[in-house]
C-alpha cells in the first residue's frame, strides 16, 4: 500500500512538472507572436486582410488599393500604447511579440469639381486635389478630394469669417516640383489657380489669422541659450569646480576625524 502511494505521488509530481513545462512553452510562444487585425475599409481593399499572427520582429508590409472612385488617404495603426497615422503606401511595420495591432486603411471618395458631372477616364494622369478645412474661414469648393482631367479652370477661393483675415495657402504633396509648374508652397493668391500637379495628389489648406494679427515668420534654427560667466568662467564650469572643492574639503575633514579617533 505504501509503495503504491509513493508511485502515485511520484506519477502526480511528474505530471505536474510536465504540465508546468508545457504551460511555460505555450506562454513563451504566445509572447513571441504578434497579432495583426486588419479592419475592412470602404473605398478599397488591403493586403494582407483579416487577422494574422507573426513571429516577433517580422516586418509586415501593408498595401492599400483604392477603388476606381476613391483615393488612398492614410493608415490608422493602433496598439494598447496608442495610435498613429501613416501616409506611406505601401508601408512596412516591424511587429513586436505579445502586441496586438489594429490596422485600417482610410480611403477618400473622389468627387468631380464643381460644374463637372463625371470623374476623369484616366486617373493616372488626373490631378487629385485635396481641399482641407481650416479654422477661421471656408473654401470654395468645400473640403473634399477632387479628381480633374483638366485643372486649368479650377480656382480655390478662401473666404474668412468675421474677425478673420486670409493669410496664405499651404500646399502638401509628394513632389515639391509640383509637376514642373512654378509655384510656392505658401502662395498668397486668392483665388488660387490649380493648373498643375497632374498624376499626383496635392493637399491645399487655407490659413486664416485673427484680424489685426500678423502671423510670425518662422526662423531657421534654434537660438542658443546664453550662459553667464563668473571670473571668466561660464556659470556651469564655476558650479562644477565649486562642487569638486566642497567634496575635497569633506574628504579632508573625514580623514582628520578618523586619525584623531585612532589616537
pLDDT of residue 239: 56
Cα 259 to chain centroid distance, Å, stands at: 64
E strand segments, the chain: 33-39, 44-47, 50-55, 59-66, 70-79, 82-86, 91-94, 100-111, 127-131, 137-140, 144-148, 155-160, 164-172, 192-193, 201-210, 229-230, 233-234
Do residues 64 and 106 lie in contact, with contact meaning Cβ atoms separated by under 8 Å? no
Q: pLDDT tens digits, residue range 215-225?
A: 654 433 333 33
- Which is more confident, 221 or 234? 234
Confidence category of residue 240, pLDDT binned at 50, 70, 90: low
Of these ranges, 20-24, 90-94, 150-154, 240-244, the one predicted with the greatest mean pLDDT is 90-94
Quote the CA–CA distance of 160 and 166 in Å, as a whole number: 6
**Region 66-81 average pLDDT:** 93
Dmax over CA atoms of the chain, in Å, equals 106
Pairing of strands 201-210, 127-131: parallel
Q: pLDDT tens digits, residue range 178-213?
A: 555 666 788 899 999 887 777 888 899 999 999 977
**Region 18-27 average pLDDT:** 42
Q: pLDDT tens digits, residue range 129-152?
A: 999 999 999 999 999 999 988 877
Domain regions of the chain by residue span: 33-109, 123-210
Do residues 137 and 152 lie in contact, with contact meaning Cβ atoms separated by under 8 Å? no
Confidence category of residue 228, pLDDT binned at 50, 70, 90: very low
DSSP string for residues in 66-112:
E-TTEEEEEEEEEETTEEEEE--SSEEEE--TT-EEEEEEEEEEEEP
Q: pLDDT tens digits, residue range 149-175?
A: 887 778 999 999 999 999 999 988 765
Amino acid at each position: 500500500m505504501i509503495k503504491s502511494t509513493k508511485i502515485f505521488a511520484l506519477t502526480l509530481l511528474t505530471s505536474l512538472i510536465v504540465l508546468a513545462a508545457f504551460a511555460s512553452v505555450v506562454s513563451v510562444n504566445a509572447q513571441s507572436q504578434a497579432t495583426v487585425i486588419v479592419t475592412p475599409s470602404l473605398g478599397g481593399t488591403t493586403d494582407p486582410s483579416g487577422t494574422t499572427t507573426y513571429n516577433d520582429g517580422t516586418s509586415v508590409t501593408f498595401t492599400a488599393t483604392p477603388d476606381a472612385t476613391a483615393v488612398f488617404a492614410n493608415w490608422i495603426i493602433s496598439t494598447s500604447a496608442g495610435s498613429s497615422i501613416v501616409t506611406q503606401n505601401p508601408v512596412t511595420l516591424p511587429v513586436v511579440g505579445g502586441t496586438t495591432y489594429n490596422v485600417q486603411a482610410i480611403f477618400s471618395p473622389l468627387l468631380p469639381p464643381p460644374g463637372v458631372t463625371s470623374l476623369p477616364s484616366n486617373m493616372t494622369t488626373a490631378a487629385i486635389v485635396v481641399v482641407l478645412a481650416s479654422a477661421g474661414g471656408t473654401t470654395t469648393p468645400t473640403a473634399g478630394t477632387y479628381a480633374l482631367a483638366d485643372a486649368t479652370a479650377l480656382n480655390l477661393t478662401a473666404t474668412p469669417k468675421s474677425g478673420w483675415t486670409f493669410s496664405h495657402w499651404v500646399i502638401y504633396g509628394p513632389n515639391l516640383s509640383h509637376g514642373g509648374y512654378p509655384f510656392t508652397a505658401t502662395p498668397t493668391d486668392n483665388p488660387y489657380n490649380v493648373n498643375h500637379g497632374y498624376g499626383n495628389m496635392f493637399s491645399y489648406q487655407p490659413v486664416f489669422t485673427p484680424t489685426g494679427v500678423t502671423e510670425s515668420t518662422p526662423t531657421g534654427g534654434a537660438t542658443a541659450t546664453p550662459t553667464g560667466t563668473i571670473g571668466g568662467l561660464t556659470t556651469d564650469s564655476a558650479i562644477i569646480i565649486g562642487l569638486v572643492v566642497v567634496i575635497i574639503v569633506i574628504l579632508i575633514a573625514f580623514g582628520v576625524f578618523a586619525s584623531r579617533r585612532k589616537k
